Amino acid sequence: MVWLMRRCVDCGRYTLKKDSCPYCGGKLRIPHPAKFSPDDKYAKYRVAMRNVEAKE
Ligand SMILES: [Zn+2]
């Protein structure tokens, strides 16, 4: 489950912890941001177009 992993901004190691790095105690951030944000008002249109393409 790659999307559950966090990456330490200080040492660059990956971890499954959510609060702080188990190696150096640094801050963690998600290495791969979500493709679709709630603010993306065009996301639903892209999904609709993809569905159309899938039918052909
Ligand atoms: Zn670290």
- Cα 44 to middle of ligand 1, angstroms: 37
Output 13 or 31, whichever has higher pLDDT: 13
* Residues 5 and 16 sit within 8 Å (Cβ to Cβ): yes
CA 46 to chain centre: 19
Stretch 11-27: mean pLDDT: 95
What domains, with CATH codes, occur in the chain? 2-55 (2.20.28)
Which residues are within 5 Å of ligand 1 (an ion), measured at CB? Answer: 8, 10-11, 21, 23-24, 26
Across all residues in the chain, what is the average pLDDT?
80
Stretch 17-33: mean pLDDT: 90
- Cα 6 to middle of ligand 1, angstroms: 10
DSSP 15-47: ES-SSS-TTT---EE-SS--SS-TT-TTHHHHH
Q: Over pLDDT 90: what percentage of the chain?
A: 43
pLDDT, residue 4, reads 81
pLDDT greater than 60 at residue 1: no
- Cα 15 to middle of ligand 1, angstroms: 9
